[in-house]
Structure 1
Amino acid sequence: MERLTPIGISVVLSLLVASNTFAEVPRMPTAIAVPPSDKAPLSSATRPGTEYSDLNHYGYVEQEYYLQGVAPAITAAGKTLLEAPYTTRILVRKPADPARFNGTVVIEPFSWFGERGAGWILTRDYLLRRGYAYVGYTLNVNKPAVDPKFISETPAAEAEQIAQYGRIVNFEFMRRFDFARYAPLGTYYDPAHFTRGEAPDPFAPQSQGIGAQLALLLKTKGTQSPLAGLDVQRVYVNSWAVTAQVWMDYLDQGRHQQWRMPDETPLIDAYMTGRMAYGEVGGDVIRVPRQMPEGVPFVTVFSQSELMHDVIEGIPLPPDTDTPQLRYYEVTGMPHLRLADLGTEHTERLAADIGKGDDPRCRTLYDEPVERVVSALLDGMDQWVRDGKPMPNAPRVVRDGKAAARAPATGNLQGGVRPPWIQVPSATYLTDQETGCGLIYDTKVPYSKEVLGQRYGNFNRYAQKFEDAKAVSIKEGYLLPEDAAGLHPIATPQDF
């Protein structure tokens, strides 16, 4: 080979410097196994409740670790003010047999309400069937003097929120649950220097750095990883409800481009966020990050509640594109919260609790199995990453000014992703913005026996149409064939 001249060496060095100008490797954190306790950890899939799964049946193990490191404290505007140490925790679920692992880890920050793993609840059966690893992690703070999670327009409203949720947020909740286990946890927080909009920022300032460092640790093959022995190829974000804002900030501020693996490949290979109207808790109201990730998907899933928020506020959704890889899904018949979505010690008020029990529009919650839709979307995102097969494009819900158009024949929204229970409805699915029920849950009005009879004749005909609708959803990419058998008609023979 010819030797490079001094000029040639200079050019090569310049190119190397230029290629690394905006890319940096985050600090590597440390994972330390949490000492055993006499109870299962918070958010454990082994405890009866909304997050339970039969891990043994699928050959999975669950392990909890402290995650320790030094991470930047970043404002909502994207400015790093300082770097500080932190100790948080991660909850790992992985195949006991490395041969069962499919190469992909899904990471999810737990909600600050009851440490709920919403993404796990919505996709757990799919993840376990397909051999994914899952890592949930805590993004929380010690209880501040004035907790920005509860800042409201009036002192009465703030007191009401604190009374309802105050016991299931922050590290105090975790320490009350198991003091010895969670006493060491701590992340930096300073409401005087970190604001969002006109109020203190409710999000932990180190959230972005913790997420990046966790991805680095999981993708770095070595004995220090909690996934040691597994051949990790990909890391996907699956972040729902309020924590989705963390990952919107991460993308919007260009962290995807800034923080990289040592070989300059992405830390994160796909982003799915859901059930969060970005900016609703303060800050910029945007729907697409100003610095979209290059070459990896960004997918957002709106329930009826989020899409109705944007309709009423007149916020347009962006068009789907393949370059950059962007998808928005407005899922009709999907509530903001279901009974199946609650975290540890998390309860919500029902209509009867607030004097709305006699209102026919408030009496019936809808708890339809939307995890079937979400699992299909996650599978579609995975195929986009692995095989380059673009995810399906869904129509937007039809707008009528600052209202969502409803079909006169059914009372349900037009357009959007239409699960079988919307294609073949047995109820009108509403949102709290429309009913004023005052619930975090959304409600529906079931069709009367007379209406069901007029639409379908009898239960058998209704059930057949529901089966036909399942076939449509499979073809569209919003239902996996292996989930179809477990998806049953919403109405029952007794309703007819």
Structure 2
Amino acid sequence: MPPTFTPLAPGTPVLAAVSPGPDLAAAGFAEREYAVAGTALRYEPAAGGASGAGAAVPTDPAPYRTRVVVRAPVDPAHFSGVAVLEWLNVSSGADAAPDYTYLGEEVVRRGHAWVGVSAQLVGVVGGPPSIGGDPSVGLRGTDPGRYGDLRHPGDGYAYDIFSQVGAALSAPGGPLADRRVDRRIAVGESQSAFALTTYLNEVAPTAGVFDAYLVHSRGRFALGLGRAGGPVDLQTVRFGEAVPIRDDLAVPVIVVETETDVLSPRFRYVDARQADGPLLRTWEVAGTAHADRWQIGDLEDLLGCPDPVNRGQQAYVLRAALRWLETWSGEGAPPRAPVLATSAEGAFELDEVGNVLGGVRTPCVEVPAQALSGLPSPDAPILCSLFGTTHDLPGKVLRERYASVEAYLKEYAAATDAAIAAGFLLVEDRAAVLAEARPDLVAAALDRPLE
């Protein structure tokens, strides 16, 4: 039986976010929230017990009642036919939508629907955050009047819950029942990317729900199949074996990794690196961090980090990845990218100003005014270790690189256009990328007024 969707009363959904994202009403979009209820199955390893060796076996049905948030064009005629389903992230102890923060502009301008799914136990009923801190109270404890009747049977059921929501979006009674969904794209960042890795390896071969996947900042591991009655044990996951994504994919997958994900001890994606395939691309993005200024915005000072947080341009690369997953076909595959350069000693290889070599190159690292890193200072607290660093280049370095502000801006624009031509940035984002140039730093180094 498909799940049932019950609209919740008008109100503001409980969903952690710093940036409000695009103005939905101005764009002709509406935000609606639903309770979704059904019976889900838990997955166990396939015969032989080897995770990733094949489709897992569904078993042990249990009832659930969770929630979804839907942002979609009000007019069905303005809907693109693409639904972007985000596995909401619970690392903070509360549901959050980090990928909508990056992708919202692309979702709205393309006329997609975005669906945030409260797939995991902690988001619904609360529990200990994986990044440290006191246990949360989840949706039920935050607003009992709105969410008090939600229930979750444990993270072992999260995969089938996610599948059921995706499959039923446009079914009778679904939140998109008045329109046709032609393409379902699953997205998730950090812990949610660990979950999508498990989903791809264990569930996708038989579920057949999603048409493409954007796996963002997944680290070396997968979330595992979980258990009944409780959250996944992340400590066991973190110190388990490195898990690649299966190589017999039936639908396109783009993995986007930051410097933090590739080499930091907390993630170590480098141990799970794998070659691109007919339906797999991995983009390691230079000058980026697991979390960054884009996510934290004006609350940066409240973090108390010893250095300014990362100001890299992964948002624009993620939007390009989503566009490729919207259109990827046998004749139109996305570009391949080199990996970030690492030494035999396991460190990044850096250029003369301190930015990493290799990877997807955005204008801020190709034509630098700052050194951008995804690795933290040695004395950074655990939360700050996710946010990387940004340091303005010394005046002497800028004077040696750029003869004038005009020369800097010309180089920066050329690098932007090259990244667009290569397929790693979108032409629609060109003006926004150009606006992130730092002629003020170059002008100050040259001791000239900025006009």
| TM-score (norm: length of structure 2) | 0.84
1:293 matched to 2:249? The reply is yes
Give the equivalent residue in structure 2 for 1:128.
Answer: 108
Q: What is the alpha-carbon distance in structure 2 between the residues aligned to residue 339 and residue 408 of structure 1?
A: 23
- Say whether residues 1:66 and 2:46 are aligned partners: no
Per the TM alignment, residue 328 of structure 1 is displaced from its structure 2 partner at its CA by 0.6
Q: Distance in 1 between matches of 2:261 and 2:206?
A: 30
Counterpart of 2:115 in 1: which secondary structure?
Answer: strand
Kindly state the Cα deviation for residue 29 of structure 1 after the two structures are TM-superposed: 0.7
State whether residues 397 and 404 of structure 1, in contact with CA within 8 Å, keep that contact through their aligned partners in structure 2.
Answer: no
Match of 1:378 among 301, 309, 322: 322
Aligned partner of 1:256 in structure 2 is 204
Determine if contact 2:287/2:365 at 8 Å carries over to the other structure.
yes
Contact kept in structure 2, 1:314 and 1:402, CA below 8 Å: no
In the TM superposition, what are the counterparts of 1:332-371 in structure 2 within 5 Å?
332-342=286-296, 349-351=303-305, 357=306, 363-371=307-315
- Separation in 1, partners of 2:405, 2:394: 13
- Cα pair distance change 1:397/1:340, threshold 3 Å: closer
Q: Which residue of 2 aligns with 1:184?
A: 149
Which residue does the alignment assign to 1:88? 66
Q: Say if 2:169 is the partner of 1:218.
A: yes
- Distance between the aligned counterparts of 1:316 and 1:246, measured in 2? 15
| Inter-CA distance 239–468: structure 2 relative to 1 (3 Å threshold) | same
Q: Is the 8 A contact 1:107 1:237 kept in 2?
A: yes
Conservation of the 8 A alpha-carbon contact between 2:310 and 2:373? no
Residue 135 of structure 1: how far off its partner (Å) = 0.5
Q: Report the equivalent of 2:82.
A: 104
CA drift of 1:210 comes to 0.6
Q: Output the CA distance in 1 between the equivalents of 2:186 and 2:144.
A: 29
Aligned 8 A contact 1:463 1:489 in 2: no
Partner SS state of residue 364, structure 1: coil
> Identity over aligned residues, as a percent?
24
Q: CA deviation at 1:215?
A: 1.4
**Do 2:119 and 2:162's aligned partners in 1 also have CA atoms closer than 8 Å?**
no
For 1:451, give the aligned amino acid. Answer: V
Q: Distance in 1 between matches of 2:394 and 2:22?
A: 36
Give the whole-Å Cα distance in 1 for the aligned partners of 2:152 and 2:300.
Answer: 23
Residue 283 (structure 2) aligns with? 329
Aligned equivalents of 2:194 and 2:343: distance in 1?
28
Amino acid at match of 2:14: L
Matched residues in 2 for 1:93 and 1:226: separation?
A: 10
In the alignment, the residues of structure 2 paired with residue 128 and residue 443 of structure 1 have an alpha-carbon distance, to the nearest angstrom, of 30
Partner residue, 2:219: 277
Cα distance in 2 for residues equivalent to 1:456 and 1:247: 44
Equivalent residue, structure 2, for 1:207? 158
Letter in 1 for 2:111: G
Question: C-alpha distance in 2, partners of 1:330/1:313?
Answer: 10
Q: Verify the 8 A CA contact 2:355 2:372 in the aligned structure 1.
A: yes
In structure 1, distance between residues paired with 2:353 and 2:219: 27
Contact 2:214 2:255 in 1 (8 A): yes
1:298 & 1:243 partners in 2: Cα distance?
15
Relative to structure 1, is the Cα distance of residues 328 and 377 closer, same or farther in structure 2, using a 3 angstrom cutoff?
A: same
Which residue does 1:115 correspond to in 2? 95
Shift of 1:479: 1.0
Please say if residues 394 and 417 of structure 1, whose CA atoms lie closer than 8 Å, have aligned partners that are also in contact: yes
Q: Distance in 2 between matches of 1:373 and 1:251?
A: 22
**Per-residue deviation, 1:53:** 2.1
1:313 CA displacement: 7.7
Q: Partner of 1:458 in structure 2?
A: 404
Q: Which residue of 1 aligns with 2:133?
A: 162
Q: Distance in 1 between matches of 2:436 and 2:405?
A: 10
Separation in structure 2 between the aligned mates of residue 216 and residue 279 of structure 1, nearest angstrom: 27
Q: Name the CA distance, whole Å, in 1 between partners of 2:217 and 2:88.
A: 14
Out of 387, 390, 393, the residue aligned to residue 336 of structure 2 is 393
Give the match for residue 234 of structure 1.
Answer: 183
| 8 Å Cα contact 2:313-2:364 kept in structure 1 | no
- The separation in 1 between residues aligned to 2:405 and 2:300, in whole angstroms, is 36
Q: Which runs of 5+ in 2 are unaligned?
A: 46-50, 223-233, 446-451
- From 14, 20, 25, the equivalent of 1:42 is 14
Pair 148,333 (structure 1): closer, same or farther in 2 beyond 3 Å: same
C-alpha contact (below 8 Å) 2:262/2:269 kept by paired residues = no
Instruction: State the shift of 1:287 in Å.
Output: 4.5
